Structure 1
Amino acid sequence: MVFWTVTALIASAAAFLLAMILIRAREQSEPAAAYDLRVYRQQLREVEKDLARGVIQQNDAERIRTEISRRILAADTQLQQARNGASQPSGLSRTMAAVTALVIVGGTLGLYWHLGAPGYGDLGLRDRIRLAAERAESRPSQAAAEAEMPAMGKPQVDESYLQLVEQLRQTAGSRPDDAQGQALLAQHEANLGNFSAAYAAKSRQIDLLGPQATARDYTELAELRIMAAGGYVSPEAERDLQQALSLDPTHGPARYYWGLMLGQLGRPDLAYREWAATLRDGPAGAPWVEGIQAQIEDMAYRAGVQYQPITPGGSNAAPLPGPSAEDMEAAGELSSEERQEMIRGMVSRLSDRLATEGGSAEEWARLIGALSVLGDSARARAIYDEAKMVFASDSEALTLLQTTARQAGVAE
């Protein structure tokens, strides 16, 4: 209700200003009769000067005065008529003002009713995190997402290539334990746009490789699933990315798709941090770096972050704010209330730093513990829930966070 009231007041104020302009409008240009009037009066003064110098006779002066006076009266009459005619009809002006107000106020509210979300309440950070978690749990599966995809047309390739791929399918089918054959089949099925068949072959290859499967293998499997779903990161693709990042937390392509998934789940803040960190690690010119550069500014806007260009492979991270030696020495001389306020300031700076640029699991754990010491258990629990999403693919980080949260009394 507050939103509707504020919107109506702003629209009414704009309508009022335009209405006043319509009602008080006047002709701004000077009528021609006003100029003529000044000329005739100047001529009268010139007549008096000529008479004083003896240039003209008294009789001639009287005759000229009479003629000029007649013209002055005529010009004055025209001027009065022009001034009266410049005023807009009162009824028409008021009608136009009312129509303008109706269009502005009614149009504003009607446009929002059509394009906006009437009745949709404001969402705090905790509610947004909760909704993102619910969305992650209830989002469509890989099969459901693929079912929504339109049918693909026949690929425009040489008939000979199609025959070679068909032979490869038969060979791979007759040798299901050949990991290299499955890898080739996945590659060529992807070339033809058969992404479902491609990720099926890639999944079979990973099963055959077992522990020898690399982060690249799992990322390629996730990428094929994502392409089959039209860019959507399904729960199945998420599990592949988790496996890739558990094997190599620095794997650039997996980090790119992980950030993409976080953005789709309604957590652009986490997505921006992941992409920003990936850009800093580089290297410049890598395909995933170029993909991030093309989208990170929009992600930063969605996250409410003022984006500053990040140099790939460069060190753009600001040092973590914390107490200096002088701060620690001064803290010993403070009262308990002053020390508490000092701790709150440090916690606030750490929280802002992690919210905008991210940080290590140790820093997140430090923040959880500090909030618990300050008695802010609700916020500590919210930070713990968020940290679990940030480090979902890092088992060691999750163990550290869980231990800290238990000590802080915010986890079971």
Structure 2
Amino acid sequence: MLFWIIAVVIALAVLGLLTRALLMGRSGEEPPAAYDLRVYRDQLKEVDRDLARGVIAAADAERVRTEVSRRILAADAQLQSGGDSGGQPRAGATALMALMALVVLGGGLGLYWVLGAPGYGDLPLQARIAASKELHASRASQAEFEAKLPAPAPLNPENEYTALVLKLRDKVAGRPDDLQGNRLLARTEANLGNDRAAYAAQREVLRLLDEKATAQDHIFYAELMISATQGYVSPEAEAALTAAMKLAPRHPVARYYWGLMLIQNDRPDLAFQIWEELLYEGPAEAPWLIPIRARIEELAWLAGVDFRMPAAAETPAGPTPEDLEAAGQMSAEEQQEMIRGMVASLAERLDDEGGSAEEWARLIGAYGTMGDSAEAASAWDRAQRVFDGDGAALAVLRAAAAQAGLVQ
């Protein structure tokens, strides 16, 4: 209601000022016709001076006097009939005033009806932030959210691997303090798509490691929980991300999921800041950039930011527009499958055609963020053989390996 009161008062004030100017004219100031009379009289005097100096002929002087005299008579008639307003027609001013009132009031209301939100209550910034905090504090836990989803059917490997996986499960169940067994079980269940069993095993890994757990250990745990809830970042997953960012504040995967959590809790402004940084940081083939590119323009609109996806020359080459459109319509599982396919394609190209140290570093980092330590270690070993003796390239590769948790 306060908005409407302020809007109407401002509109009426503007209309009042315009009406006063139209109806009263320039009262208290010299009328325009009086100024014109002075000018024309000065022109007559100037004609006489020019004639006396011989600048113009007598016939020309007479013709100019006649034209100026005609203008003097017209200006004097306007001055006599117009008074202080200078002869401005009051009927025309009234009509113009009515038209302006229609445009200002009617046009404003019409635009608000089309572009605004009639009947929607005031929602100031502080109220939105408070509502976001309440949403964040009261959101469903991991278990509560999983309970809303259909129970997943346990997946088992085919053929000769079945016995090995079943044996691993039995072994870990009998030896809950076996760190390597729980690690292997978490990876195995994750590869099979048994996310709930995988994060349960990874939780035991974190328990056994305690303060020795790396950022990647916490991120892997968070990813498994997020995958189990089909993209929802629960309070438990948020806690894992918090632990990871205490150890590696700039870790891109943790920051990506942190932005996702902010979106889900109605803070697109903060999420956009994080995702925009990740977009420009690259690298181009980083798997987390696929969903970012697919959603960041919409996120910017929600955040009230004028943003357009940078041209290809401004950012490293990445997925095609068709890839981005497809990624925006995929579920979390489908996006993960697409990411794995892109990483596999990169690995195949590097093995077949070779590539730069930066590209090998991307491959190592991609495997690390996917939680595939074995493939990351294999790529790290192959890259070291390719760039043996190149100190600068090895430094780039070592940094990627360190981020993937392969070296200290």
The TM-score with structure 1 as length reference comes to 0.46
The TM-score with structure 2 as length reference comes to 0.46
